[in-house]
Structure 1
Amino acid sequence: MPTALEELPRSKQLTYAVGQLGASILINIVAISLVFFYLPPDSAGLPELITTVTFLGVLNALVLIAASGRFLDAITDPWVANLSDRSTNPKGRRTVFMKWGALPAAVFLVLMFTPPVQEVSSWNIVWLVVVQAAFYVSLTFYLTPLYAMTPDMGHTPDMRLNLSTWTSAAYAIGIVVAGLTPAIASAFEGTGLSTLRSFQAAVILLAAVALFCMYVPVWTIDERRYSHPVSTTTPVWEALKAAFSMSDFRRFVFSDFAYFTGLTIAQTGLLFYVTVLLEEDEALVGTLLAVMVIVSFLFYPAVNLLAKRLGKKPLTIAAFVWMSIVMLGVLGLGRVGLAPTAQAFGLILLLSVPIAFLGVLPFAILSDIADYDARQSGESREGTFVAARTFMQKAGQTTGILLFAILTTLGRDVGDDLGIRLSGIVGFVLLLGAAVLLTGYRADVIEEGSIIE
């Protein structure tokens, strides 16, 4: 007979979130810096590493590379999730996979920013296609089991909301750390390194920090004390079919896809908004992201409290609408009667509030859905729900990079910035679409089924 489950203490909640911090650093280095590194604006001092020639009028090499980087996720996300859900490892179903995914993810992240040729070359294209695919496969082995631990260890809706809040805070810190890449690169450049080598040194340093963080929950959390490893026997495709047969899950996950596409456009565009539209130094990005995290932190207690009183769904929809309106402001950057730095800080402050809500609430909703399914079906398929969501999240991030890269073909330099400005309109449409999609989610049915008497 299984022993009584222990409630996850605050200290373990924090070490769990540290793993998310490490993964966030890796993810956001790619989201913030990959396009900038390979297709830099003229003012960056970096060499172009891949051709800017377009195919079919709008598809440049980086667009095609970014698309190829996520194709394997269609197989690896559900496959890893099913392996984790079905695992009978005596030490637990999740951390055994995480410890094998962390190191290669960090290594392949570094390799993405160390192309074999320091000028435009087809070898760089081949290199980035292969290494980027390997990075995302490795990251799947870490993130899918990590996220599945929230419904595993969160035995009540409030505990799942609390875990989501902590991991959201960690993810936000990861954005700030990743956003420091240009500033750290500038510091290395002061030691005599070239601009290219300085950027690479910054990536290596941050990847090492991320790797340490990713191992913290592996070293500190004993799954057996906080969750019973009830393994499912359902094959991978049957488990996925069962997950997508839930109409509420479909509404949630497609809304989430639209959100992450819009968010990635904003993240990828930030360096361009600062250096091209506002003509400020790229090091300002690190400061802006730090401000965003600080402001978001101030709202996290309110997010947690308001979600318990008003519900997750209405707050999430309101945050989508707010963020969509803010994205329209990109059209006017550099054209209004305010100092460029004031415009930059104004944009970040207005984005901070919805990002605080959207960093916490969607994953708490997902955990509620996974818990509801387990109670209805009698099987624990948390990993499958997480895999389906992380696949859509990664697909959204990839789509965001694709769309932004396509837009850069319409202008990405000072005085020729049409593509950068149009990213605001694209972000607006996507985020408003996310709000519309979520209106059909039946929160009352899902959350009522999650209540533990």
Structure 2
Amino acid sequence: MAERLPLWKKWMYALGQLGWSLTSFAIGNAVVYFYMPPDGVNFPQFIQKGIVFAGLTVVGLALGTSRLFDAITDPLVATLSDRSKLKLGRRRGYLAISVLPFALLSFLPFLPPSNNYMINTLWLFATVIAFYWFMTMYVTPFFAWMSELGHTPDERLGLSTMISVTWAVGYVIGTQIYLFQTILEKAGFEPLRAFQTVTIAYGVVGFIFMLLPIIFIDERKYCEAHTVNEGGLEAIKTAFKDKPFFIFVLQDLLYWVGLTGISLGLVYYITVLLKLPKEHASQVQLIMFLLSFLFYAPVNILAKKLGKKRLLMVGFIIFAINFGFASMLGKLALSPVVQSYIVAVLAAIPLAIFGILPNAMVADIAEAHGKRTGNYKAAVFFGARTFMQKMGQTVAGFIFPSLFILGSNEVNEVGLRISAIVSLALMVLGYVLLLFYDEKFILKHLQTVTEE
């Protein structure tokens, strides 16, 4: 019988999430900023700007291609982890193998080696694709571990809440990238060196935090030994045939397309629509995530009383309202600063909801499936979920940079407003899909198996 994880070790696990959240921030949110800088940011031009193929930019192609590769490799890593016999454990072993290259590759894309556009383009594609491979090797087993370290739905919800807190802390630190860049510039750094220094610092600090669960959690002691009796492809197919899971990942796909588009565009909404300095984007994101912490405890309480599904639906509604508001930034009879703060406040509640509940829901689905079939393949379920999540990010990576420059070779107001409306529509569609998610089936089955 596996032992319960002590509270302090739960925090060691959760701090691993802080590490990879910080490590992945720059590539996930600032590649467009680095290679297509807004006016007033004096970076050299490393690659060709504007449309290069089928209405897409070089940055859009790099992000889209790398996220597509990332999405495809998620189920592969998931099945390898589920069937792994590494001495450190089928989750912990993968974390140990991937942590160093993951950290190094988090800043290498921001160190282009040449003044030649073609060489830098190849560098961008190669380093970002490699980054996402090692990120998948760390993140997919990390999430699957939550299902096995938490032995009850409430314990899994608690772990999900803890990693949501640490993810948000890492993300909040990440959002200060533009502020840290400005501070270093005032200290005498050139803009390019200032930005690169911040990305390197993120990689180093993230590496340290990602080591903590590897060092302090003995998988053999705290996880029950489970086996998978399905082949890799069969395991993936049966996961997607699970109806509640299939509906869940479809709405999750729509959510991530919309959210990624808004995230990629936030610095432009601030600088282009509101005419505020770039470092104000860091301030808005900081307020957004700090406020979201206030709702973590209420989300936990309401999830136990009302159910996770209802709260996700509320999150979709609030995000849709917020994105509608974002489409009108700069046109309202309010100061630009006030408008930016309204965006931050409206985002706080759904960020708390979507930060906590989806991982707990996937863990419940995986556990119910394992008890029903005898195949405990948590990594496959989390891998399939992150596959759909990254497909959403892939679509956003292809589409949104082109929307931002719609009708021009530069980021412009019309394209930004349309991008916000597109995200709004995706939130509405996600809400509609979630109506068909059968949460009662999952919880009832878990309770029935437990009673038996």
Alignment of 1:315-326 (within 5 A): 315-326=311-322
Residue 199 of structure 2 is matched in structure 1 by 203
CA distance 1:349–1:74, shift in 2 (3 Å): closer
For residues 44-100 of structure 1, what are the alpha-carbon distances to aligned partners after superposition, in whole Å with 9 as ceiling and x for unaligned?
222332212314562121121112112333442122111211123343211110011
Is 1:427–2:423 an aligned residue pair?
yes
Q: Distance in 2 between matches of 1:263 and 1:407?
A: 15
Cα pair 2:319 2:350 within 8 Å, conserved: yes
Q: Distance in 2 between matches of 1:175 and 1:376?
A: 37
Residue 105 of structure 2 is matched in structure 1 by 108
Is 1:441–2:437 an aligned residue pair?
yes
Q: Distance in 2 between matches of 1:415 and 1:360?
A: 33
Residue 340 of structure 1 is matched in structure 2 by 336
CA distance 1:412–1:262, shift in 2 (3 Å): farther
Residue 32 of structure 2 is matched in structure 1 by 35
Deviating more after overlay: 86-95 vs 232-241: 86-95
CA distance 1:415–1:389, shift in 2 (3 Å): closer
Residue 3 of structure 2 aligns with an amino acid whose one-letter code is E
Is 1:215–2:211 an aligned residue pair?
yes
Cα pair 2:168 2:289 within 8 Å, conserved: yes
Per-residue deviation at 1:411? Answer: 6.3
Residue 13 of structure 1 is matched in structure 2 by 10
Cα pair 2:16 2:213 within 8 Å, conserved: yes
Residue 47 of structure 1 aligns with an amino acid whose one-letter code is P
Cα pair 1:109 1:135 within 8 Å, conserved: yes
Per-residue deviation at 1:191? Answer: 3.1
Per-residue deviation at 1:414? Answer: 9.7
Cα pair 1:249 1:369 within 8 Å, conserved: yes
How many residues align? The count is 449
Q: Distance in 1 between matches of 2:325 and 2:359?
A: 28
Q: Distance in 2 between matches of 1:277 and 1:357?
A: 28
Q: Could you say what secondary structure the match of 1:42 adopts?
A: coil
Q: Distance in 2 between matches of 1:344 and 1:443?
A: 36
Q: Distance in 1 between matches of 2:362 and 2:408?
A: 37
Per-residue deviation at 1:397? Answer: 1.8
Is 1:153–2:152 an aligned residue pair?
no
Q: Distance in 1 between matches of 2:205 and 2:108?
A: 16
Q: Distance in 2 between matches of 1:55 and 1:38?
A: 14
CA distance 1:182–1:5, shift in 2 (3 Å): same
Cα pair 1:6 1:226 within 8 Å, conserved: yes
Is 1:48–2:45 an aligned residue pair?
yes
Residue 432 of structure 2 aligns with an amino acid whose one-letter code is V
Residue 32 of structure 1 aligns with an amino acid whose one-letter code is N
Q: Distance in 1 between matches of 2:269 and 2:219?
A: 44
Deviating more after overlay: 220-229 vs 44-53: 44-53
Q: Could you say what secondary structure the match of 1:394 adopts?
A: helix
Per-residue deviation at 1:335? Answer: 1.5
How much identity, in percent, do the aligned residues show?
A: 37
Residue 212 of structure 1 aligns with an amino acid whose one-letter code is I
Residue 365 of structure 1 is matched in structure 2 by 361
Cα pair 1:252 1:441 within 8 Å, conserved: yes
Q: Distance in 2 between matches of 1:207 and 1:263?
A: 24
Per-residue deviation at 1:177? Answer: 1.2
Provide structure 2 residue ranges, at least 5 long, that are not aligned to the other structure: none
Q: Distance in 2 between matches of 1:334 and 1:385?
A: 42
Cα pair 1:88 1:231 within 8 Å, conserved: no
For residues 303-340 of structure 1, what are the alpha-carbon distances to aligned partners after superposition, in whole Å with 9 as ceiling and x for unaligned?
00000000001111121121012101112111212111
Residue 306 of structure 1 is matched in structure 2 by 302
Residue 248 of structure 1 is matched in structure 2 by 244
Per-residue deviation at 1:362? Answer: 1.0
Provide structure 1 residue ranges, at least 5 long, that are not aligned to the other structure: none
Deviating more after overlay: 62-71 vs 237-246: 62-71
Q: Could you say what secondary structure the match of 2:256 adopts?
A: helix
CA distance 1:75–1:56, shift in 2 (3 Å): closer
Alignment of 1:344-355 (within 5 A): 344-355=340-351
Cα pair 2:102 2:135 within 8 Å, conserved: yes
Q: Distance in 2 between matches of 1:62 and 1:415?
A: 13
For residues 265-285 of structure 1, what are the alpha-carbon distances to aligned partners after superposition, in whole Å with 9 as ceiling and x for unaligned?
121111111111111111122
Residue 35 of structure 2 aligns with an amino acid whose one-letter code is Y
Q: Could you say what secondary structure the match of 1:49 adopts?
A: coil
Per-residue deviation at 1:28? Answer: 2.4
Q: Distance in 2 between matches of 1:38 and 1:372?
A: 45
Q: Distance in 2 between matches of 1:277 and 1:47?
A: 24
Q: Distance in 1 between matches of 2:140 and 2:370?
A: 18
Cα pair 2:22 2:174 within 8 Å, conserved: yes
Residue 18 of structure 2 aligns with an amino acid whose one-letter code is L
Cα pair 2:61 2:397 within 8 Å, conserved: no
Q: Distance in 2 between matches of 1:415 and 1:112?
A: 22
Q: Could you say what secondary structure the match of 1:376 adopts?
A: helix
CA distance 1:220–1:226, shift in 2 (3 Å): same
